[in-house]
Amino acid sequence: MAEHTVDLVVLGGGSGGYAAAIRAAELGSTVVLIEADKVGGTCLHRGCIPTKALLHAAEVADSVRGAAHLGLDARLDGVDAERLRAYREGIVAKKYKGLQGLLATRKITVVHGRGVLEPGPAVRVGHDLYRGANVVLATGSASRTLPGLEPGGRILMSEQALELGEIPRRVIVLGGGVIGVEFASLWRSFGAHVTIVEALPHLVPGEDDVLSKGLERAFRKRGIEMKLGARLSSATQSDDSVEVVLEDGTSIDADYLLVAVGRRPVTEEMGYAETGVELDDGFVRVDENLATTVTGVWAVGDIVRGVQLAHRGFAHGIAVAERLAGRTPSPVPDHHIPRVTYSDPEVASVGLTKAQAITQLGEAAVVVQDYNLAGNGRSEILGTAGLVRVVREVDGPVVGVHLLGARVGELIAEAQLIVGWEAHPDDIAPYVHAHPTQSEALGEAFLALAGKPLHAL
């Protein structure tokens, strides 16, 4: 067995792991990054990036369909699944090459193989042992399955849905969370008949009610069917279709069933528990600095309980690397992490929902301001409906911002600064928003909260 000793060993080369590796190298550490598959992980190869490429193609398809309304003669003649795949793979390949370049430039040693944590701390890959003054665990998450709904044939998880070599004619989506809603949206844009089955009463149930209801209205208008508050009783597949029966006896037939009921942390069979790393329902138990129960072993990203988002992984990785370099990075609270669902319309939010604010602060201490995008010129031009909701504490800071509408994901940057800096509406209302932009809708909400609405009553 060969032994190698470095400052930092990172197990897992996804968003959290490579961010820790890059930041540690920038701060002067020698770093080994161990990855069983490809650096970039789920987000780059099977998640964020390829799905957003498909969603962009879906947006273009809808734009072409709606072109006549603008006086443009254009016709959507079809969707070529093979060329769509080539476009998506091209985007991923470029980003993959870029990431490999970044790692090489920073002299990070990438080891290809499956790592297992050992005392020391160290990570074993085959016959090689990599000892680090510190080890960062960043092994990510995988799609959760339900008994009887294992992927295969007509039953897909998001990974297989992405690789599907055809546009399904009819598809059932189990789970109306982020993944379910994004796939429902893009398949509908490509012409599929889509039915979403969601166990809770609303789509994207973690979001403010006003966004869930607005999204449902928009999806209904787009012809997406929804069975809300519905539970699956059985799913039976044949060679060319799948039949889903709900607990109320409703039966639905489709070409495919996508199962999108959440993701589980990947923490098994990698020596974690055996080395003394405490787990809690599969998640790694950490303190506020992301230290595990074993000295010198840290955890970042989706294996830490909380919102499973790539940018949270980046923030975790950077924070751990800085702490190891003797700095005192600010903690990364989950409620400061922006969330975007890239459906049509988009859903974006940061901070507390109205309901959460009322639970935490009491009803009398919460003020909510809604601004309808119907009053926003740029949104009218884009032909999108939606709204901005701002939640503030009475005489206090903005604690939540919630957005619905085409392209509103890009507006979350301003909202996250406001929530993160605990800004008061009076302080931010004077800042001017360019006209005509969708960001004006945010400005209008702040003006209204500061008692001086302009394009609102």
Residues with a known catalytic role: 435
**What's the closest the beta carbon of residue 175 comes to ligand NAI, in angstroms?**
3
Tokens 């639905």 belong to residue: 252
Axis crossing angle, helix 48-65 with helix 81-105, rounded to the nearest 10: 140
- The answer to whether residue 177 forms part of the interface with ligand NAI (CB under 6 A) is yes
Query: Which CB, 178 or 270, lies closer to ligand NAI?
Result: 178
Closest separation in Å from C-beta 196 to ligand NAI: 9
Name which of 117 and 244 has its Cβ closer to ligand NAI: 244
| Nearer residue to ligand NAI within complex by CB, 40 or 177 | 177
Min dist CB 148 to ligand NAI, Å, is 11
Residue closest to ligand NAI (Cβ): 177
Question: Is the distance from CB of 251 to CB of 238 less than 8 angstroms?
Answer: no
Nearest of 110, 96, 88, 89 to residue 6 by alpha carbon = 110
Binding mask 103-142 for ligand NAI (x = CB under 6 A): ----------------------------------------
Least Å distance, CB 116 to ligand NAI, is 26
Q: What's the closest the beta carbon of residue 163 comes to ligand NAI, in angstroms?
A: 16
Q: Which of 49, 47, 42 is nearest to 87 (CA)?
A: 49
The closest of 185, 111, 115 to 345, measured between CA atoms, is 185
DSSP 446-457: HHHHTT--SS--
If the CB atoms of residues 211 and 261 are measured against ligand NAI, the closer one turns out to be 261
Q: Rg of the Cα trace of the chain?
A: 23
Residue identified by tokens 């197990």 is 11
Which of these segments, 58-66, 87-95, 254-262, 380-388, binds ligand NAI (CB under 6 A)?
A: 254-262
Q: Which of 450, 445, 451 is nearest to 424 (CA)?
A: 450
Q: Least distance in Å: CB of 146 to ligand NAI? A: 6
Q: Taking the complex as a whole, how short is the minimal distance between the CB of residue 179 and ligand NAI, in angstroms?
A: 3
Residue 269 corresponds to which tokens in the numbers above?
């069979």
The 3-state DSSP class for residue 293 equals coil
Q: Does 337 bind ligand NAI (CB under 6 A)?
A: no
272-311 residues near ligand NAI, rule: CB under 6 A: 307-309
- Cα separation of 221 and 419, whole Å? 32
* 223 to 242: interface string for ligand NAI, x by CB under 6 A: --------xx----------
Please give, one letter per residue, the 3-state secondary structure of 239-286. Answer: CCCEEEEECCCCEEEECEEEECCCEEECCCCCCHHHHCCCEECCEECC
The nearest distance, CB 369 to ligand NAI, in angstroms, is 25
Contact call for residue 176 and ligand NAI (CB under 6 A) = yes
Our measurement of the distance from residue 324's CA atom to the centroid of its chain's CA atoms, rounded to an integer in Å, reads 27
Helices of type H across 164-235: 178-189, 209-221
Give the Cβ contact number of residue 93 at 10 Å.
11
Work out which of 12, 121, 140, 180 binds ligand NAI, going by CB under 6 A: 180
The tally of CA atoms less than 13 A away on the side-chain side of residue 277 is: 33
Judged by CB under 6 A, which of 6, 54, 178, 419 binds ligand NAI? 178
Residues in Cβ contact with 59 at an 8 Å cutoff, skipping those fewer than 6 apart = 189, 344
C-beta of 92 vs 291, nearer to ligand NAI: 92
Q: Residue 245 interacts with ligand NAI (CB under 6 A)? A: no
Instruction: State yes or no: residue 263 binds ligand NAI (CB under 6 A).
Output: yes
Residue 175 interacting with ligand NAI (CB under 6 A): yes
- Taking the C-alpha atoms of residue 26 and residue 403, their distance in angstroms, rounded to an integer, is 36
DSSP3 helix / strand / coil % (the chain, rounded to 5) = 35, 25, 35
Which listed residue (340, 357, 387, 411) binds ligand NAI by CB under 6 A?
340
Please tell me whether residue 425 binds ligand NAI under the rule CB under 6 A: no
Tracing tokens 């069917």 back to the chain, one arrives at: 225
Instruction: Report the sign of the C-alpha dihedral through residues 241, 225, 370, 439, in that order.
Output: positive
CB of 200 to ligand NAI, least distance (A): 4
Using rule CB under 6 A, residue 270 touches ligand NAI: no
The count of residues interacting with ligand NAI (CB under 6 A) is 26
Best CA proximity match to 232, nearest among 179, 195, 194: 195
Which residues between 308 and 327 bind ligand NAI (CB under 6 A)?
Answer: 308-309
The interface with ligand NAI within residues 186-205 (CB under 6 A) comprises 197-200, 205
Nearer to ligand NAI, 15 or 308 (CB): 308
Q: Indicate whether 261 belongs to the interface with ligand NAI (CB under 6 A).
A: yes
Q: How far apart are CA 298 and CA 243, in angstroms?
A: 45
Binding characters for ligand NAI, 140-169, by CB under 6 A (x = yes) = ------x-----------------------
Token pair 């504490």 is found at: 393
Give the footprint of ligand NAI on this chain (CB under 6 A): 146, 174-180, 182, 197-200, 205, 231-232, 260-263, 307-309, 340-342
